[in-house]
């Protein structure tokens, strides 16, 4: 099933780009119609001949503009495809039609190579006509799909209500790791709805969300910089809202939000919708960092290797749900580039000396500028340690039967946590930590050193360069441990919902959820529309 979805997704992307290159309206104030306007009765088609208009405009600027609009639409298409998968519509009419449509576009693409500037010959005119027909059909499809998705959302709402009644019972079942893993893996419909609504807004009003030219603050090493890498627009907004609300002088703080291409538009809109009291926000996609390619990044190279693809995606859903023990290892999240970005901070932010890394499942409860005053003793990574007794020691995270691990590390060394890490980027550069990480990540191609995640390579990379921070900076476990003391939580600068029971899921723990919902913008129109809260 997952395989099918991925194929569909990639099938969708190429033809949509093509479709939009040919169909986008040339004026930025008149963007391609957003899906809200995809009502079949008012389908708008390019008013001028594509070929005629190509000749009269400066080609380069035009092409750039079209490419921009195309990539927005491609992201929206990807969102729909992924949404369809999430709703388990794999075998439904819609998915078949989308696939059919994309095949049609692909074959059109195959038989065409329109050269801008060349005279419109009969072949090209024919092509233009068939593209128009396909566009009309595409718009109908999207409009239809949207209706059906909205109905699914209503059904889900009903189910959620029923679910709430049975919560007590379900909680008992969910104590088992299995069902909570399932729930943690599946993104709730409301979240999907939110990112699509934001994406649609992005497309409807591109002029409002055009990327601003680089502000000097974004690179000013005298300010307080944060890195937040996330594909969850609501979670990221809670991190920012809480950090801004608790900072003494927001204008001294700079938030670097990095997401993937699919969520970029939604994030851009989310962080433009309200005022952050002067805090500076940069929204980028990790694809913007071109140095992060498979010739440099071992994880990307490994992702591309056929072996790993097989390991992660070939196992079909039926088998995956039977295989609880191994399921964790199959979650593509553990390989996502977004997760491994944390190992490239010095190169992503070359002008900065220090940066605070925040996971998207945390909430900030105090002004954090005190961290910039901590004496790092020349260390690279400021983190809270997590070991107690024999728990959370290095031997639990990596394979000490492997001679290389055995030789280099003490099995009883204390583990620490990601989630809130203060990085001294100058020390990082000096200690060549990225090279260290590359060395070990390359050795782990066949996963004999460690199995999954970013913590083991982190523990390895920062083995002798971690500075333990006072535990009140970062209190962990709100996503799995119901017995954390409220006193400890109250005193924490940052609380972390690590674990499967995320506060945005219905399995989140009720006693902790208010710490998070406190910072959700429930009065925001888009959040309303998608049935959050209530």
Ligand X SMILES: *[C@@H]1O[C@H](CO)[C@@H](O)[C@H](O)[C@H]1NC(C)=O
For ligand X, the binding residues (CB under 6 A) are: 97, 100-101, 104, 137, 290-291, 293, 295-296, 316, 318-319, 399, 401-402, 445-446, 448
N residues, the chain: 534
The residue among 133, 123, 146 whose CA lies nearest residue 38 is: 146
Rounded to whole angstroms, the Cα distance separating 495 from 473 reads 8
Q: Which one, 13 or 507, has the nearer CB to ligand X? A: 13
Q: Which one, 104 or 531, has the nearer CB to ligand X? A: 104
Please state the closest distance from residue 217 (CB atom) to ligand X, in A: 26
Rounded to whole angstroms, the Cα distance separating 462 from 180 reads 31
**Tokens 């390989």, located at residue:** 335
Please state the closest distance from residue 81 (CB atom) to ligand X, in A: 14
CB 251 within 8 A of CB 283: no
- The full 3-state SS of 297-330, as one line of letters, equals CHHHHHHHCHHHHHHHHHCCHHHHHHCHHHHHHH
Burial of 69 (0-12, 13-18, 19+ CB in 10 A): buried
* Element of type H or E holding 4: helix 2-23
CB 242 within 8 A of CB 519: yes
Q: Is the CA virtual torsion 285, 291, 294, 296 positive or negative?
A: negative
Q: Which one, 43 or 104, has the nearer CB to ligand X? A: 104
Strand, coil or helix: 460: helix
Burial of 58 (0-12, 13-18, 19+ CB in 10 A): exposed
Please state the closest distance from residue 131 (CB atom) to ligand X, in A: 12
Please state the closest distance from residue 107 (CB atom) to ligand X, in A: 8
Q: Which one, 192 or 330, has the nearer CB to ligand X? A: 330
Rounded to whole angstroms, the Cα distance separating 310 from 330 reads 10
Q: Which one, 104 or 179, has the nearer CB to ligand X? A: 104
DSSP 98-152: HHHHHHHHHHHHHT--PPTTS---HHHHHHHHHHHHHHHHHHHHHHHHHHHHHHH
**Angle 191-196-199 from CA coordinates, rounded to 5°:** 130
Phi, psi of 153 (to 5 degrees): -65, -40
Q: Which one, 107 or 166, has the nearer CB to ligand X? A: 107
DSSP state of 383: E
DSSP state of 27: -
Please state the closest distance from residue 416 (CB atom) to ligand X, in A: 23
Distance of CA 347 to the CA centre of its chain: 20
Please state the closest distance from residue 178 (CB atom) to ligand X, in A: 17
Q: Which one, 156 or 448, has the nearer CB to ligand X? A: 448
Please state the closest distance from residue 90 (CB atom) to ligand X, in A: 13
- Output the CA–CA distances (angstroms, integers) from residue 48 to 25, 140, 483, in the order listed: 9, 21, 66
Task: Mention every residue, 6+ apart, whose C-beta is less than 8 A from residue 339.
Answer: 229, 333, 453, 454
CB 259 within 8 A of CB 338: yes
Q: Which one, 42 or 295, has the nearer CB to ligand X? A: 295
Please state the closest distance from residue 136 (CB atom) to ligand X, in A: 9
Please state the closest distance from residue 120 (CB atom) to ligand X, in A: 22
Please state the closest distance from residue 368 (CB atom) to ligand X, in A: 31
Q: Which one, 296 or 334, has the nearer CB to ligand X? A: 296
Q: Which one, 53 or 434, has the nearer CB to ligand X? A: 434
Please state the closest distance from residue 402 (CB atom) to ligand X, in A: 4
Q: Which one, 138 or 493, has the nearer CB to ligand X? A: 138
């Amino acid at each position: 099933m997952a395989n099918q979805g991925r194929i569909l997704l990639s099938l969708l992307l190429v033809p949509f780009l093509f479709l939009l290159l040919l169909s986008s309206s040339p004026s930025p104030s008149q963007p391609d119609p957003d899906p809200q306007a995809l009502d079949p009765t008012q389908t708008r088609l390019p008013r001028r001949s594509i070929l005629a208009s190509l000749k009269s405009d400066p080609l380069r600027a035009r092409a750039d503009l079209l490419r921009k609009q195309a990539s927005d639409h491609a992201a929206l298409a990807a969102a729909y495809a992924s949404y369809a998968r999430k709703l388990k519509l794999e075998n439904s009419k819609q998915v078949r039609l989308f696939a059919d449509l994309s095949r049609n576009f692909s074959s059109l693409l195959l038989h065409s190579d329109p050269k801008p500037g060349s005279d419109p010959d009969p072949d090209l005119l024919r092509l233009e006509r068939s593209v128009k027909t396909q566009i009309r059909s595409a718009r109908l499809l999207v409009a239809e799909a949207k209706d059906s998705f909205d109905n699914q959302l209503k059904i889900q709402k009903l189910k959620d209500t029923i679910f709430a009644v049975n919560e007590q019972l379900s909680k008992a079942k969910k104590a088992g790791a299995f069902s909570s893993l399932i729930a943690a893996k599946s993104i709730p419909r409301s979240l999907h709805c939110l990112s699509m609504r934001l994406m649609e807004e992005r497309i409807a009003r591109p002029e409002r969300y055009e990327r601003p030219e680089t502000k000097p603050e974004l690179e000013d090493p005298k300010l307080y910089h944060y890195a937040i890498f996330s594909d969850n627009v609501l979670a990221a907004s809670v991190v920012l809202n809480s950090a801004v609300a608790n900072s003494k002088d927001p204008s001294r703080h700079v938030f670097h939000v990095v997401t993937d291409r699919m969520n970029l538009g939604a994030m851009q809109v989310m962080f433009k919708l309200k005022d952050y009291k002067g805090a500076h926000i940069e929204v980028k996609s990790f694809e913007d960092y071109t140095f992060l390619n498979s010739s440099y990044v071992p994880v990307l190279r490994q992702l591309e290797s056929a072996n790993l693809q097989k390991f992660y995606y070939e196992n079909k859903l039926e088998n995956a749900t039977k295989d609880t023990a191994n399921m964790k290892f199959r979650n593509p999240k553990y390989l996502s580039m977004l997760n491994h970005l944390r190992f490239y901070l010095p190169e992503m932010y070359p002008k900065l000396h220090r940066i605070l890394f925040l996971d998207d499942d945390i909430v900030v409860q105090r002004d954090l500028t005190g961290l910039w005053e901590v004496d790092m003793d020349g260390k690279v990574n400021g983190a809270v340690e997590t070991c107690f007794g024999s728990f959370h020691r290095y031997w639990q995270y990596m394979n000490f039967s492997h001679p290389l691990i055995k030789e280099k590390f003490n099995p009883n060394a204390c583990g620490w946590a990601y989630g809130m890490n203060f990085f001294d980027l100058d020390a990082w550069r000096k200690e060549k930590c990225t090279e260290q990480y590359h060395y070990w990540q390359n050795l782990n191609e066949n996963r004999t050193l460690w199995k999954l995640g970013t913590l083991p390579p982190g523990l390895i990379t920062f083995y002798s360069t971690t500075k333990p921070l006072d535990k009140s900076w970062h209190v962990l476990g709100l996503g799995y441990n119901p017995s954390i003391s409220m006193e400890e939580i109250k005193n924490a600068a940052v609380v972390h919902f690590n674990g499967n029971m995320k506060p945005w899921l219905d399995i989140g723990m009720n006693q902790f959820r208010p710490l998070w919902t406190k910072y959700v913008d429930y009065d925001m129109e888009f959040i309303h529309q998608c049935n959050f809260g209530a």
